[in-house]
Structures are given as structure tokens and as C-alpha cells.
Amino acid sequence: MVVERKKALALYSGGLDSILAIKIILEQNIEVVGVYFKTPFTKDKPDHYGEKYLNIPFLIEDISNDFLKILLNPKHGFGKNINPCIDCRILMFQKAGELMTREKASFIISGEVLGQRPMTQNKKSLLMISEESGYGKWIVRPLSALLLPETEAEKQNIIDRSKMMDIEGRSRKRQIAIATQWGIKDYPSPAGGCKLTEPGFAKRMRDLLTRENFVISDIDLLKVGRHFNTHKYAKLVVGRNERENKIIFTLARSQDYLLSSEEHKGPISLLRFYINSELKEDELEKILDIAAKITARYCDKEQDRDLVDINIWKADHKIKKLKGVPSLSQLLIEHYLI
């Protein structure tokens, strides 16, 4: 009689805890499929540090649209910045539960460690996240399983609970020791991979959330340049180097304005409006004037007070050339800077 090999679906971040959690289950002769959930605030794909150690297939699932709905009104609030970590984990487990059916898996693996992160990995949060996901009884956290209630996968002897671990707290000494024992040497640092935890990015995201009709692609623009709140209906993004200039140029839409200088080395700036109706001509001119002065501020000049000619483009054709544009004062730069 052939016994069917059981399968697990593993949430995979690319970090050491994910690798170890999967390895523990693989050691029990269970097939594992890894899944990486992508949002606009994470890498497009994980650093596959674990591929050579795990030899399992990986799925990449984009949950951006569902995540943005959460970001607008998270049930459990935000972390230190604008990171809705608890709601995010619930969403990921819900999506993993749906995939579990599709992949014909018996349970879900997570590399979470009890007490490692104060917001999402205290015991109360772990159990709440499991319950609210709707798949709690099938979520196995191998690194801390002995400190948590028994799951259905353990009760049904799909996995051996005695081979699970009781790791707790922020120290990673035990994980590193286990990794060494298994010959796992290459793995990333434990820093979070979500940009919403970064104070500067979070500030930009808060500003974007106040804008009308923003879309997912607007978030890509938050990742580069200096950002200026030049008007309640407009924002300016100024490239800091050649790489960012190229990215900003690539992200420009037909209705955006691009500003740059031919005579002076410096930034490409992108002016984007978030408004359904047309602005009055004099109001538009004032906004373009401020954008030009900010752009001039970051052009290479012999002296800060030197004047700069600024070209303004839209939809691949030059709208106008502003001659002798002065740099905006540092005081006003700081006033507009997001």
C-alpha cells in the first residue's frame, strides 16, 4: 500500500526563520511549497537564500489590491509608522488558506517566533491572528510550536509535535546554532522588508493617502527622490542622482510635467496632480514656478544664487523654457519637503 505524502504550504520571506521552519517540516518527510506574498511595499521577489538548502518550489502571489484596502482602514491599527502588521498577517494567512486548497496542502507553516516582534508575535496576537484568519487550527509555527496550543496537523499526527521547537524572544542565538548545525550559512539580517516601517517612507505614504484618485503605481514613485508638497492638489518628486532620474522619467505619465535644465547637471523633477478638474491658468503657473525653483535649487551651480534655465515638458514635448530661474530658499525648501 502506497501512503500518500502529505504537503504543507509555507509562508516564505527569505529570512532565516522561514528557512528553519520549512527545514523542520521537510525533516518529517513532508512535501513543502513556499509562497511569497508581494505588496507594493515589499520586494517583487524574496532573496532566495533558502533555495539551495530547501530545494522546494516557490510561488509568488501579488496581494497588492487587498492590502491597499487594509491600509486605508486597518481594523487593528498601525504600528510605529504606517504599518498595519496585524491586519497584514491576517490577510496573508487568509490567502495562504485559499492556496492551501488549491495546492492540496494539509496545513500552513509560518516562521514566526513567539515574542520576537512586540506587535505581531506576542502570544495574544499570534492566537488572534490565527483565529481571525479563519485557518487558525491549520497554522503551524515550528520554531515556537511547543509554547503554543496544539494544532490539527499535530492532533491528526500529520506532523510529530515532539520534533517542533520552543524558541522564544528576540535573541537569535538558537536559530543561528541550528542553522550552523544544518550547514546553513548564507541568510539575510533579520531587518524587516516592508517599507511602511521606514519613517521617511511612511511620511510620504501618509501624504499620498490624502490625495484623490491615487493608484498602486503612485507608490512606486514614493521609493525614489525628494518629495515636496507644493500644493494640495500636486506633489513634486526630484531625482537625487542619475539612477533616480531614469526611474522618475520612466514613471512619468502623459499628464505629468517633467522639469530639468539643459545647461546645468542636475535632477529630473516630476510634477503630478491629483485632481479631476482643470486648474485655473494662473494657479497652474504658480505651481510650475515653485517646481522650477525647487528644481533649480538642486542643479549643480558655482554659487547657490546663480540663475538656471529650466525646461518644462509634458507628454514628450516641451511646453516652455523658463529663463533665469532662482533657487528656492532653504527655508521654503524645508517648508514644502515631505
The answer on 322 and 281 residing in a single domain is yes
* Count of domains observed in the chain: 2
The answer on 232 and 157 residing in a single domain is no
Answer yes or no: is 1 within a domain. Answer: no
Answer yes or no: is 62 within a domain. Answer: yes
Give the separation between CA 104 and CA 289, rounded to whole angstroms. Answer: 60
Give the separation between CA 99 and CA 35, rounded to whole angstroms. Answer: 9
Using DSSP's 3-state secondary structure scheme, residue 228 falls into strand
What contacts 48, CB < 8 A, 6 or more positions away? 14, 58
C-alpha closest to that of 239 among 230, 199, 252: 252
Confidence of residue 190 (pLDDT cuts 50, 70, 90): low
Answer yes or no: is 19 within a domain. Answer: yes
Furthest CA-CA distance within the chain: 86
Higher pLDDT, 168 or 119: 168
Domain boundary among 152, 181, 210: 181
The predicted model gives 160-167 an average pLDDT of 98
C-alpha closest to that of 164 among 99, 94, 111: 111
Cell numbers for 166, please give them. Answer: 520552543
The answer on 24 and 150 residing in a single domain is yes
Q: pLDDT value at position 192?
A: 62
The answer on 217 and 164 residing in a single domain is no
Answer yes or no: is 86 within a domain. Answer: yes
Q: What percent helix, strand, coil does the chain show, rounded to 5?
A: 40, 20, 45
Tens digit of each residue's pLDDT (9 = 90 or more) over 309-324 = 999 999 778 889 999 9
Q: pLDDT value at position 48?
A: 67
Query: In the block, which residue shows the cell 529650466?
Result: 310
Confidence of residue 42 (pLDDT cuts 50, 70, 90): very high
The predicted model gives 79-84 an average pLDDT of 93
C-alpha closest to that of 270 among 285, 255, 286: 255
40-44, 45-49, 283-287: lowest mean pLDDT where? 45-49
The answer on 322 and 274 residing in a single domain is yes
pTM to 2 decimals? 0.90
CATH number, domain of 152, equals 3.40.50.620
Confidence of residue 4 (pLDDT cuts 50, 70, 90): confident
Q: pLDDT value at position 1?
A: 46
Answer yes or no: is 191 within a domain. Answer: no
Give the separation between CA 134 and CA 90, rounded to whole angstroms. Answer: 9
What contacts 33, CB < 8 A, 6 or more positions away? 7, 8, 9, 10, 56, 57, 58, 59, 103, 105
The answer on 222 and 150 residing in a single domain is no
Q: pLDDT value at position 279?
A: 86
- Average pLDDT across the chain, whole number: 93
Q: 309 — phi, psi (to 5°)?
A: -85, 130
The answer on 116 and 15 residing in a single domain is yes
Answer yes or no: is 250 within a domain. Answer: yes
Domain boundary among 121, 155, 181: 181
- Tell me the residue range of the domain where 81 lies: 7-181
The answer on 124 and 20 residing in a single domain is yes
The answer on 136 and 32 residing in a single domain is yes
The answer on 214 and 126 residing in a single domain is no
Reported as half-sphere exposure (CB side, CA atoms, 13 A), residue 222 has a value of 24
Give the separation between CA 147 and CA 143, rounded to whole angstroms. Answer: 9
The answer on 14 and 125 residing in a single domain is yes
Cell numbers for 334, please give them. Answer: 524645508
The amino acid present at 98, given as its one-letter code, is E
Helix axes 85-102, 64-72, angle to 10 degrees: 150
Q: Are 64 and 217 in contact (CB under 8 A)?
A: no
Domain boundary among 118, 148, 181: 181
Reported as half-sphere exposure (CB side, CA atoms, 13 A), residue 216 has a value of 13
Answer yes or no: is 11 within a domain. Answer: yes
Please report, for the chain, how many H helices and E strands are present, in that order.
12, 11
48-57, 170-179, 228-237, 285-294: lowest mean pLDDT where? 48-57
Answer yes or no: is 192 within a domain. Answer: no
Phi-psi region of 305 (alpha: psi -120 to 50; beta: other; left: phi over 0): alpha
The answer on 106 and 61 residing in a single domain is yes
User: Quick check: 267 pLDDT over 60?
Assistant: yes
Q: State the distance between the two ends of the chain, measured CA to CA, in whole angstroms.
A: 66
Confidence of residue 109 (pLDDT cuts 50, 70, 90): very high
Q: Are 211 and 274 in contact (CB under 8 A)?
A: yes
